[in-house]
Structure 1
Amino acid sequence: MKKITKTKSSKLQFFVRMMWNCNTLVIRASREKTVESLLEQISSKTRIPIQHQRLIYEGKQLTLEQSLCECGIENDANLQLVGRLRSIACPKVWKATQYIVSLILRLCRGELVIGASRIIDDHLTYYINDSEYFSVFMFMEIPSLLVALYMSRYANACVADSVIKDFVRICLDLKDKKLQGVYLEVSLEFCELLRRARCKYDDPLYVFCRDSFSSLLTLVGRVNFQNPKGEVMLRGVFDCVHEIADELLRFLDLSMNCPTGEGFSFNFVLDFVKFSGHLRMGLAEQQATSDEFLNCTIGYEEEPLIAGVVDQLHIVFIKLLSKMDECLQVMEDCLVNKKHGKGDGAVINNGWSHYIIILKVLYHISKLYSGAKEMFWEVLLRQKSMLSHMIVRYSKNTDDHRWVLENRSVTDFECRRHLAMMMFPDLNDESLGYEMLIDRSQLLAESFEYISQANSTSLEGGLFMEFRNEEGTGPGVVREWLVLVCQEIFNPEHALFVACPNDRRRFFPNAGEFRLEFKMHNFTLLHAIQLEYFQCQ
């Protein structure tokens, strides 16, 4: 009975012994996989290039084209991994690289080498386009040596900083996308080595390498995440997403506790958008092969690396969604206090404008998991007023917020109208006019805010005016608003005008508060609107 189960199963588990250090790898693969794909899997674990590996089974060297079934490999088989002799086809590359390794080791010992940065940079620039150089570069562990030099206490650490940045810039400037895809692995290696050395978001070199890794991913385009090296790359992308998400959670807490949201960096939001996009692309490919939601580790028994990413991204999603729920509640409390005149009414939190971007990323992640979209919409339905406020207040014509329209119940009419208006072609400001949404209870304050930010050109096109929670628009609403504002302008409580000491029937504009009245007066003259509001007593 056991024999029948074994022959039916296409899954294998066997052992690969590395002869130079006596370590053993446990490998899981299907019988149909080729020896070449097996070597790629081993390379992703050991960082040893395929061309430097030889697999021996039962005294025979396995060829790349053979499948594991053709090689006769069964469960619990023992294979030997041995290295190849260094290629004699490119002795110049090996010799030059050995010299660079010895130079870096001298710098690590604290020796002073004049022009070390230039020597290493010239070497990298000269050999980086050589097809053999990548394998030599990784085999000699130059990334590890440079990071060790960067973390050393000697003054030579600045050499490593300069060399790593120059190397990454060279990779970004390469014309060959295929070659850029090869060196993508080096960029990830620098990120992982620096992270292991306790470098975080406040380390300039680490941030530079992480940003460059994202830029290389974009330049390379589609990365095949469905092979062993691709799985390692996918894990590397997730590590960046996880790290940035932790930073975002910290700054979201800061945005709730700090009234103005100072310190909430847009760079973290932008990094989260970029890396999560690459990660979603990779997981979407995995989802397409299984045609199911990524709701658990089922389907990834042979790929524990992918299974771990799937589970952990789900945890990141839940944490960020819960934190956004808290932030939107705090935001609502602040706006309510402002409306009732409590606290600092002039406070505008700089972090609020970033919330809508984070929610958009969470929406796209929710599509990968069973039940996640329902959880996402439930939070937005609970925070409907704040979502609508953010879209009306902070969205721009260049933003794509159509995802919100997928569930109409999470937005109000005003928000949906605003989104619909933004879908029209972008026209000249003069033809569109100037759009305002005014709360009657904050008439003068909000009118001052809108008009003070407007330039003369936009006002020449007229006003698209609407009162909050009212559907009426058009010239009649504009006229009503002008009358009400002018009445408020001459309200003695606001002290916008000062009585003439010699003639109580005359008033002079208060020099410090004159901008609003001046623009309003110009607007009425420009559009031939007659207002009888000069009734001073």
Structure 2
Amino acid sequence: MTLSRYSDNHKRKFDDNGVDNNILHKMKRHEVDADHTSPSQQPFNPWRSDENSPQNRYECSSSSSSSSTESSTRSESTRLQLFVRMVSGGKTTVIQADKSDTVENLHQRIELKTKIPVNEQRVIYKGKQLQDERPLSYYSIPQDSSLHLVGRMRSTDHPVACRVVDDIMYIVSRMHSGGGGENNNLPRGMSINEKLSSFFSAIPRESGGDDNSYIDSTEKYLTIFTNSSVPASLVMLYTSPLEANKSCGESSIKLFLNSCLALPDEQQSCCLPVVLEFCRLLRRVCPHNSLYGSCRNTLGSLLETVQELVDKSGTEFTSLHYRLLTVGEEILPCLSELADLMEQQLYDDNLGPSLYDVQKFSSFWRPLRHAIDFQLSSLIPFALPLRSTVLEAEVARICQIFGRLLTTMHICILRIESSLGGRGVANTEAMPLKWGQYLNILKIVSSMSELYQGGKEKVVTLINSRKVPFCALILKFVKRGDDHGWISEYREATTFECRRHLAMMLFPDGKEDYSEMHEMLIDRSHVLKESYEYISQASPGGLHGALFMEFKNEEATGPGVLREWFYLVCQEIFSPGGTLFLRSADDFRRFSPNPASKVDPLHLGYFKFAGRVIALALMHKVQVGVLFDRVFYLQLTNQTISLEDIKDTDRVIYNSCKQILEMDPVFFDSNAGLGLNFMLETEELGKRETKELIKDGKSTAVDSKNREEYVKLLISERFVTSVSELVEKFSEGFSDILSVPIQSFFRHLDLEDFDGMLRGGENQISVDDWKAHTEYNGFKETDRQIDWFWKILRKMTEEERRSVLFFWTSNKFIPLEGFRGLSSKLYIYRLHEANDRLPTSHTCFYRLCLPKYPTMGLMEQRLRFITQDHVSSSFGKW
């Protein structure tokens, strides 16, 4: 069944399907009308097995004859003509009987026609099972009426299921005939809930091997439940005017739904058809009732489970994909109902949408979108209006939901903007938690917009026009574990602070859990070697928590020492005198992998180590003062490298390739391509090597026709292939620290964002900003020593200021947003000791301790002494 069958076939389910039609009419009017469908008409049931496949059940139903004229002319008689239709086989059988005949006589006549043994037959009329000892007259069965027969073959694979289903239908029948309740002289153990428990306990379980046949058995097992009209009978029981029957029906339906959710994930997918049948029936009779809401929520939970299984199975088409496709047509009503509910909640600011309702809305939307993509991917995005097919009409209905939600979200975003006032994202504390679902709803709206031409542009317009509230939502409500990759599509509306926050949420929490920390004791004279041993030998999980760092023969410990270690080890990894990384030709701050690093037999291990260190520095929010070359960044993000990308990496190759491409074709060819062929010549550690770019490249000349291919191959070999193994190892180490693949981390960032996270702000340190984020203990802001301190800082060079900052905090670089981006304010404490001693610091707590110097000259002398590298790196730290 495909999605396009939705409208007509969904209706036909209830127009043609024998007992379903009778039961539903009874639920609506508490009586059964005659079925006016022709007995020969084939019923439609999307969940029933193909008619040519083996059947474990016979399902027979009859419908009233449409020949009303002929019936009216018949003389009154005790003879009855009954129509029996074989639903699974499409065959209708006429049974002749007398009103005085017992039901047992009727069974015998049916056996003669159908070959179904009497003891395996069950006859249903108006939702009630006919008892063998009763005469047909007892049930007031009129001429040309319909009966519903369910018979079981002896060869069935699931006799227990058939027996339990028969018992349930028998109990329901007795409850209707006995005046309500299950206490109708039934034997012990004959309650519906007990039978349902028996039914689920007998469902085939996983064998423990690779054989998935138990899934097929489970599906057939549950098909028996549906095809025997048990869902319809239980719903009819629930709609009974008798309170005892109603209560029993509700209890049984809830037990069935809960039992479905208790099955293993793979088997829950088999429950979709049955739960879907309950939803169809309950929606017809009580769409605003809590029982229908529970059934709809159960369906949503099953869809979530199946979608997760589909996602894990990859792109290969599986039976799970098929289950999602076949339910696609049925879930639109649920989606529409939840959209109405969310719209009301969004308008009511006192309530706000609940996480549960938003999750259920998403659980219905994802498989519906899956089904649309699979069947009509070549037509997406659609141009509205759509009316040519049933499916397109349904897609148009989704567009109405999209439009309503988009309008409602605009109102909500305006509400946020008003709440923030003039302080913008600095006032996110004023945002109530009930707004936390706005991003999740925007995510669904963004997904819906992709179906329609111009839809995405409408969402972009909304978000770009309200950047401040959109960024506030990100900073306030995006948490670890959330899937907010869709936000990268609206990067133009986000700030660096937002993009950094999205990337940082992909790291583990990194809490300071001192019960499970990774401890390191490092000798300053062997920082790189010993750090490599500690970090490389650790498991990824062991590095996700706290890091405890201590230098040998020093007492200082804590976050300040850890920040210093990050700075020192990165200085060693990216040292120009080392072999791991090369400095960019035009920007000495930027680095890329060195193809010649293979001279060190441990070079691959060191690249993985470097990836771990950089990721750890980012996770612990330490600016290490290192920037990556653009080509290296593109390799990490798995992007293609163009000629313009190598401009700042290797100016010589860039200029040469530019000249080759821009040279006049006639002149280029007349000079035999400047003598070039498809070869690349390199020099590593004084050794020159050549490599062919294509097969027989040495003998293949470059001309005006193939020069673009030559340049492309040259760039690929020089900047991709030659270092691909190094980049792979770096990425592997980086990913060890992340909780997601490295590409997911970089999808939120561009190179400038990554620069800001690694190095911080590139502007000169603002003394005014520094002063504004400093507080005092033992000194007052008006004391002359404090005045002298800031005057001395203003006189220093930029590098001297950074040395003072490093001595004070173990940060040589401040965040992109300035001193407010540090983890806390800075403090100047008075040191109650000799007034001529050197300053000390508590880097963990951002404290600088100064004596009460008697003169400004003495203070300046002491401060300039600590700007020397050998002092600022370790002196006086606790």
Same fold per TM (> 0.5)? yes
Query: Is contact 1:297-1:310 (8 Å) kept?
Result: no
1:37-75, Cα deviation, whole Å (9 max, x unpaired):
xx8x92239x7984533458xxxxxxxxxxxxxxxxxxx
Residue 176 to residue 400, structure 1, CA distance change in 2 (3 Å):
closer
Name the counterpart of 2:848: 530
Cα pair distance change 1:112/1:200, threshold 3 Å: same
| Corresponding position of 1:89 | 154
**How far apart, CA to CA, are the structure 2 residues paired with 1:427 and 1:111?**
55
* Alignment-derived partner of residue 110 in structure 1: 180
**What does residue range 167-246 of structure 1 map to in structure 2 within 5 Å?**
167-174=256-263, 177=266, 180-200=268-288, 202-203=290-291, 205-206=294-295, 208-215=297-304, 217-218=306-307, 221=310, 233-246=327-340
**In 2, distance between residues paired with 1:170 and 1:472?**
58
**Partner of 1:281 in structure 2?**
370
For 2:578, the equivalent position in structure 1 comes to none
3-state SS, counterpart of residue 53 of structure 1: coil
* Amino acid in the other structure paired with 2:510: N
Q: Output the aligned Cα RMSD.
A: 5.2
- Residue 398 of structure 2 is matched in structure 1 by 313
CA displacement 1:152-178 (0-9 Å, x = unmatched): 45235443344333333444455694x
Q: What are structure 1's unaligned runs of at least 5 residues?
A: 1-12, 28-38, 57-82, 432-454, 492-516
Which residue is 1:447 aligned to?
none
The within-5 A match list for 1:335-346 is 335-336=420-421
SS at match of 1:148: helix
Deviations along 1:223-245, one digit per CA (max 9) or x if unpaired, are: 77998x97662122222221211
Distance (Å, rounded) in 1 between the aligned partners of 2:379 and 2:296: 36
The structural deviation recorded for 1:376 is 1.2
Relative distance call for 1:128 and 1:197 in structure 2 (3 A) is farther
Percent identity, aligned pairs only, is 23
Amino acid paired to 1:251: Q
- Residue 23 of structure 2 corresponds to none
CA gap of 1:310–1:219, structure 2 versus 1, over 3 A, is same
Q: Report what 2:543 is aligned to.
A: none
TM-superposed deviation, 1:370 = 1.8
Matched, 1:390 2:473: yes
Q: CA deviation at 1:356?
A: 1.3
8 Å CA contact 1:465, 1:478 repeated in 2:
no
2:345 touches 2:352 (CA, 8 Å); kept in 1?
Answer: yes
Match in the other structure for 1:79: none
Q: Which residue of 2 aligns with 1:5?
A: none
Instruction: State whether residues 449 and 455 of structure 2, in contact with CA within 8 Å, keep that contact through their aligned partners in structure 1.
Output: yes
Q: 1:493-526: CA deviations, max 9, x gaps?
A: xxxxxxxxxxxxxxxxxxxxxxxx9998999684
1:533, 1:103 → 2: CA distance? Answer: 92
Look up the match of 2:439.
356
Distance (Å, rounded) in 2 between the aligned partners of 1:19 and 1:483: 78
Who is 1:329 aligned against?
A: 414
Give CA deviations for 1:334-385 in whole Å, capped at 9, x if unaligned.
110777x9xx997432222211111112222222222211111111111111
Which of 237, 241, 246 lines up with 1:149 in the alignment?
A: 237
Asked whether the equivalents of residues 252 and 264 of structure 1 are also in contact (C-alpha less than 8 Å), the reply is yes
Indicate whether 1:98 and 2:137 are aligned: no
Structure 2 residue aligned with 1:120: 195
Looking at CA atoms only, which structure, 1 or 2, has the larger radius of gyration? 2
* 1:264 alignment partner AA: P
Matched, 1:42 2:44: yes
Gaps of 5+ in 2: 1-7, 19-34, 56-86, 92-147, 205-216, 311-316, 514-545, 549-557, 564-619, 624-759, 781-823, 830-840, 853-878
Question: Judging changes above 3 Å, is the alpha-carbon distance between structure 1 residues 205 and 273 closer, same or farther for their aligned structure 2 residues?
Answer: closer
Aligned letter for 2:153? I
C-alpha contact 1:191 1:206 (8 A) present in aligned 2: yes
Q: Distance in 2 between matches of 1:518 and 1:407?
A: 33
User: Residue 324 of structure 2 contacts residue 367 of structure 2 at CA under 8 Å; is this kept in 1?
Assistant: no
Aligned residues: 420
Find the residue that maps to 2:231 and give its secondary structure: helix
1:120-139 alignment runs, 5 A limit: 120-125=195-200, 128-129=203-204, 133-139=221-227
| Residues 235-274 of structure 1: pairs in structure 2 closer than 5 A | 235-255=329-349, 258=350, 262=351, 264-274=353-363
Indicate the residue corresponding to 1:23 in structure 2.
37
Q: CA offsets, 1:121-141, max 9 Å, x none?
A: 244236655676544422332
Q: Which amino acid aligns with 2:334?
A: C
* 1:474-504 deviations in Å (ceiling 9; x for gaps): 996899578647479x99xxxxxxxxxxxxx
Which residue identity does 1:198 align to in structure 2?
Answer: C
Following the alignment from structure 1 to structure 2, what is the Cα–Cα distance between the partners of residues 141 and 528? 73
2:408 alignment partner AA:
K
Deviating 4+ runs (over 6 angstroms): 15-20, 222-227, 457-463, 473-479, 517-525, 531-534
Distance 1:475 1:400, change over 3 A: farther
Q: Aligned letter for 2:332?
A: F
Q: Secondary structure at the match of 1:44?
A: coil
Separation of aligned partners in 1, 2:234 and 2:847: 72
Report SS of the residue matched to 1:530. Answer: strand
2:502 maps to 419
Structure 1 residues 531 and 273 mapped into 2: Cα distance closer, same or farther (>3 Å)? farther
Provide the rounded CA distance (Å) in 2 between the counterparts of 1:210 and 1:426. Answer: 33
Query: 2: CA distance between counterparts of 1:251 and 1:223?
Result: 37
Contact 1:366/1:376 (<8 A) preserved: yes
| Rounded Cα–Cα distance in structure 2 between residues aligned with 1:297 and 1:225 | 32
Match of 2:88 in 1: 53
CA distance in 1, matches of 2:505, 2:363: 24
Contact 1:199 1:206 in 2 (8 A): no
Secondary structure of 2:452 counterpart:
coil
Q: Describe the shift of the 1:285–1:252 C-alpha distance in structure 2 as closer, same or farther (beyond 3 A).
A: same
Q: Which amino acid aligns with 1:252?
A: L
Return closer, same or farther for 1:155/1:406 CA change in 2, 3 Å cut-off.
same
Deviations 1:221-280 (A, max 9, x none): 3777998x976621222222212111111111123xx3xxx4531111111222211211
Letter in 2 for 1:321: L
Give, as a single letter, the amino acid of the residue that structure 1 aligns with 2:508.
D
Query: How far is 1:397 from its partner?
Result: 3.8
Q: Residues 478 and 422 (structure 1 numbering): CA distance in 2 closer, same or farther, change over 3 Å?
A: farther
Query: Per-residue displacement from partner, 1:427-465 (whole Å, max 9, x unpaired)?
Result: 72459xxxxxxxxxxxxxxxxxxxxxxx9x998778969
